[in-house]
Chain A
C-alpha cells in the first residue's frame, strides 16, 4: 500500500535519477542508516562485532570494489586477496613509519597505494580478456603473497614474519591494537562503508560508470562511440583496487590486529569475495552487501544450528558447512544467475503492483 510511485511526481531530471525513486525505499534507507549509526553501537558486544558485523562491513567494501571491476567493467579478477594484502602491508608500513599521523589517513593512503598497484596489474587487460585476464590476475595474487613473505622489509624484520597493528586512536579512542572496544571497531568500519558505498553509487551512475558498463557489454562498440578503453579499464582497476586496499587495511588493522599474509590474504579470500559478488549480484551495489552478508552470516548460522542446537561434533559441522555453501553457490548460479540483487528487484516489482498481479 505504501510501496507506490503513484502521486510521487518527479519534476526535474535530478529527482528522476535519484538512487531511491520510491519514497518508502528512501525512508527505509534512512532508517537503516540511523539504526546502524545511533542504536547498534550501544548494544554491540565483542561476539557480534567480531563474528558478524565487522567482517560483514569489511567484506562489503571488498565486494563493492570487486563488483566495480568485475560486475560493472566486466574484467574478471582473481587477485582480490593479493590486493587486500597490499592494502594491509601499506597500512602497516605507514603506521609504523609515521606514528603521529591519523590512522584514518593511513587507511586512505593504503587504498591509494593499492590503486597504483592495481593499475599496474591492470595493464594486461588492455590486451587480454576473460579467462586469460583471470589467469593474469591470479599471477598477481601469488606474486604479491610471495613478495610479502619473502622481503623482510615489508614486515619490519619481525621474527615471526607476521605484522601486528600498534595501538592508534581517533579522538582519543583506540581503534586499532588489543585494547579496542567492539563498538569502536564497528563504527570505524561502518563510516568507511557508508562513505565508500555512496561514492560507488555516484561513480556508477555517471559517465564513468556508463563507460565501464559499455566496455563490459560490448567493448568494440564502446570504443567506436568514443569510450577510451585504456582510460575506462584502468580507472576501473584503480577505483576497484582502492576499495579492496581499504578493505585489506581495515581487515588487518581494525579487525584482526595481527596477520600472517598467506593465511589471511590467500587465494581463498579471492574466491570468497568473488562468490560474494556472484551470489549477491554482479553490477549491483546492493548485491555486494547482500553477498557479503550471506557468506558471513551463513557459516555462523550453520555452526550455531549444527553444533549449538543439534550437538554435532565441530569437525563434522565444518565439513557439512563447506558442502552446504558449495551446493548453494551452484543452486544460485543455475536458478538465479543475477544473484540476490535480482531476487530483490523482482520482489520490489511485485510489491509495487500488489495486490494486483500486473
Chain B
C-alpha cells in the first residue's frame, strides 16, 4: 500500500499518478431501474484502484461501462485526456483496456495457449490470404506472438497446462488463464471483476501475488472489484465504495475503512 496519491516518479522512471481515465457523472439506467447514479472518479497511472460495495451496488455495471459493454445513459468517460466517443467493446479493447469476468468466460474448447493467443488478437495484423497460405507475414507474426505469450505463461506458472483444453482445468487455474488472456493484450488498463471469488486462502494468496507483480513489473494500471476486504485493503492504493448505485466513499483504504457511511452500508444500518 502506497501512502500518497500525488504524482511521483518511480525508481525505474514511470510516472505514477497521472490521470489515465476519468469517469464524469456517470448514470446508467435500464428502463426504470437506475444501476448507477451520478458517479465520478478517476483512475491514475500505475495504481491499483478497488471498487467495493455490497451485492447489487452497481460495481460490475461500472466495470461494464468502462469496458464499453454498456453505454452510460448520462455522463462521459475520459480516456487518456480525451472524451471517449460511443464505441463497441472490441474498439475499447483496441484502445488498450482488457478485463476478466466474474464468472469465468474462457473459450472452453480451446487450449490454454490458444486462449492466451486470442488475447493478442488486437495486435495481430496479417490478412486472410497471408494466413491461408501460411507464409511470410502470417507465420512470422504467429512465432513472435507465441514468444510473447510464452513469457506470460512462464509468469503465471502454467507451463504444464499449455496444451490442455481449458474446459478440463480446475477453477483456480481457469482464473489464472483468464488473467493471462487479459495480460496478453499488454493493456494500459486492466479490469479485474472479482479475481478471487470462490478461491481458498492459498489460491487467493497466489492470485494477490500475481496482481501485485503485474502492477509492479509491467506498470499496468489495475481496476479491481473484490469482496474480500483483507485483500482489498492490502492490495489497493485507492478505493471507491458504492452502495445502491451511488458513490459513498473514495480514498486510500485506511481512510475508507473509517468512513461512517461505508461502515453503515456494510453493517446494514437502516435508511430512515
* Interface residues in chain A, defined as those with a beta carbon under 8 Å from any beta carbon in chain B: 12-14, 17, 199, 202-203, 205-208, 210-211, 213-214, 216-218, 220-229, 235, 239, 283
Chain B residues, Cβ within 8 Å of A13: 142-143, 146-147, 150
Q: Are A225 and B106 in contact (CB under 8 A)?
A: no
**A210 in contact with B128 given A13-B147, A14-B139, A218-B105 (CB within 8 Å):** no
Query: Does the CB pair B121–A211 fall under 8 Å?
Result: yes
24 contacts between A and B (CB under 8 A): A13-B142, A13-B147, A206-B126, A207-B117, A207-B120, A207-B121, A210-B114, A210-B117, A214-B121, A216-B107, A216-B109, A217-B106, A217-B110, A221-B105, A221-B106, A222-B118, A223-B88, A223-B90, A224-B92, A225-B121, A225-B181, A228-B88, A228-B90, A235-B128
* Cα separation A82 to B65 with both chains bound (whole Å): 42
Q: 5 tightest A-B contacts by CB?
A: A226-B93, A221-B105, A217-B107, A226-B122, A202-B134
Q: In the assembled complex, which residues on chain A have CB atoms less than 8 Å from the CB atom of B124?
A: 207
How long is the Cα–Cα vector from A17 to B90 in the complex, in angstroms? Answer: 27
Interface string of B116-133 (1 = CB under 8 A from A): 011111101010100111
Of the listed stretches B40-48, B94-102, B247-255, B256-264, chain A binds B94-102
- Determine whether the beta carbon of B90 is less than 8 Å from that of A226: yes
- Give min CB distance, B3 to chain A, whole Å: 34
Q: Mark B73-101, 1 if CB is under 8 A from A, else 0.
A: 00000000000000011101110001101
Q: How far is the CB of B128 from chain A (nearest CB, A)?
A: 6
Contacts beyond the supplied A206-B131, A207-B118: 5 A-B pairs with Cβ under 8 Å: A210-B121, A214-B107, A217-B109, A218-B107, A226-B94
Whether B112 sits at the interface, judged by CB under 8 Å, is: no
User: Do the beta carbons of B131 and A203 come within 8 Å of each other?
Assistant: yes
B138 at the interface (CB under 8 A from A): yes
B89/A223 in contact, CB under 8 A: yes
CA distance A213 to B124 in the complex (A): 16
Q: How many residues of B contact A (CB 8 A)?
A: 43
Closest chain B residue, CB of each to CB of A207: B124
Give the nearest-CB partner of A204 in chain B.
B131
Kindly list chain A residues whose C-beta atoms are within 8 Å of the C-beta of B143. Answer: 12-14
- Say whether A225 contacts B182, CB under 8 Å: yes
In whole Å, how far is A228's beta carbon from the nearest beta carbon of chain B? 5
Say how far B34's CB is from chain A's closest CB, in angstroms: 23
Given contacts A203-B131, A207-B121, A211-B118, contact A224 B89 (CB under 8 A): yes
**Inside 8 A of A283's CB, which chain B residues have their CB?**
109
Does B210 have its Cβ within 8 Å of any Cβ on chain A?
Answer: no
Which A residues touch B121, using CB under 8 A? 207, 210-211, 214, 225-227
A224 touches B134 (CB 8 A): no
Question: Are B119 and A225 in contact, CB atoms less than 8 angstroms apart?
Answer: yes
Closest chain A CB from B251 CB (angstroms): 29
Q: Is the CB of B146 within 8 A of A224?
A: no
* Inter-chain contacts of B88 with A (CB < 8 A): 223, 228
A199→B129 CA distance, assembly (Å): 9
- For B67, the chain A residues whose CB sits under 8 A away are 224
* Most chain B CB neighbours (cut-off 10 Å) among A221, A222, A227: A221
Question: Is B185 in contact with chain A by the CB < 8 A criterion?
Answer: yes
CA distance A228 to B121 in the complex (A): 10
B244 contacts partner chain A, Cβ-Cβ < 8 Å: no
Do A224 and B90 have beta carbons less than 8 Å apart? yes
Contact B109 A206 (CB under 8 A): no
Chain B: CB-nearest residue to A200: B132
Question: In whole angstroms, how far apart are the Cα atoms of A12 and B139 in the complex?
Answer: 12
Contact B126 A207 (CB under 8 A): yes
